[in-house]
Chains A and B, each alone.
Chain A
């Protein structure tokens, strides 16, 4: 794949854990690639698979949904609801021909800034290897 391909990746981050972890990455002056655009939600349980399909349709090369670890949800088990939905969504994405590396559901607690950095680096590398999703070209086929 071309070296100058800079994927754009959307992150849906739960306010209490993952968003806080992203903040912590900042306050700890960690570094991660600038390709991740965060949309804050109060809970990963708010994330509707429709948004993820919409993101891919608009040109996302990857989507990351990040929530609290099971058992740690600020809303008891919103993250479990996310897990259920994303499990089914993954099957559907596969049928749509979207490689599994492009979509991840990760548990990132407020103290795991380093985990976010690791996940971000991994995802970026994998997606760079895959190349762009090229949704617009697919659309031009009708």
Chain B
């Protein structure tokens, strides 16, 4: 098979699964699930086959989509190293999560729909990854958003899920609008949207500097929205309303990763655009610290992981913004493994114990799930950046990149964020695995509702991902070669403080939460104001609701009033005036025949008098 056919198979096999599950096999959920898993297997196989084929091919054009003022825009695949790597990760993680969902979603009335939407998601994400041109990427980028909207709102009967789905869509849409305008500007500046062509230095050089900066900023808007960076990050924690495997899918290799991937894809452009990288770094560092501080005080396990995702995505952007494609993509890869693992572990606990609350999990004996707990510990250690697990290597390379580019506030910010990361990660681990008798944390209000035992189909993906999370860190050189970027090997001098900081975080967490009779109270509770601030997520939701929501609502109300009052009013007024005139003249129609005749004669007389000239 040619690579084009393979790419078509890889991207569109899940679409077949989606169609089958949503339309044909609605009443046969098991068959729908099987079909989708088969489709994902095909995708993974095709992705691997593409990888096994030759590297760095020119884009394969499948067909012409449309032409804009003579510029042809085609549908095709770009199969270079970055895309190949990402494709394999997406297919692999999606497959793991689908297998996991077999057990997790058992008994749900929307079983077939769930797998169908999964197929839709995988199709959109894979097609996005292999896109040959920016417009195609944008199309599937939007479709990824659509699929995530449908998956977050999967349990649509929960008002919170419906609201979260809406929020996710709107917040990402805000970013997308910026990206869309950027796309149009790029098109009109370069007369091409072909990614390979766009990334050539000569093309980039042809764009005026100010315009390039503008385009880069607009594209970055899309990244901010999709990858949930400050200030558009608030949708992501709410997106936890979806089923846990969905969260795993959204937060590891798809959806949020799409933003970072886009940045990586357009790395040359962002590097060429003057002044943009500083803005990126500022936003990333703000996001990293902001999300990490919020994660410190959450009790909901999925929320902790959600904020950690935001924070880690910010790390990736830190690496990319510092100019190292390698660091960003490397962290993207390792993060995909350990974050998917952590979410699947969380899902297993939630499934078995029936609560999202970490304290409840601990008290209900979460530690008894041996395999899951092992996965949790390894995943957490990877997230915290403890050697020799996956997160350690990638995070070190990001720090190294920062050192190389900006040995200043950003580095210290990154140190702070990684300390917090280690702290909240192990706070989570200790809360779940080492319940303390002396804990001051109150029990949850709701009784837990267990769904059932963790099945084999759930354990298998956890096991695979555990291996991945442990080992992915050694793939650094391989990845560097694949994406054609220079690998960064931090010196021991650079490594030491990072390791020390991560260890410090773990140790603080241990003393506060992990000791035999720890009070399980974080140091931040001593500063009440900060605690509340973090607890309430910096009041950003409220501010957005009040300010942006209120503003839009106000304008809309004014428009509605204008519509009713002014425009409709004018129309009605014209109509009513006509009717009133009619009524007035109708009153003259008294029904008095003789009055009519008399006035008619009189008029004739008057007429004759004047016209006749008498």
Answer yes or no: are A and B bound together in one complex: no
Name B's A-contacting residues (CB within 8 A).
none
Name A's B-contacting residues (CB within 8 A).
none
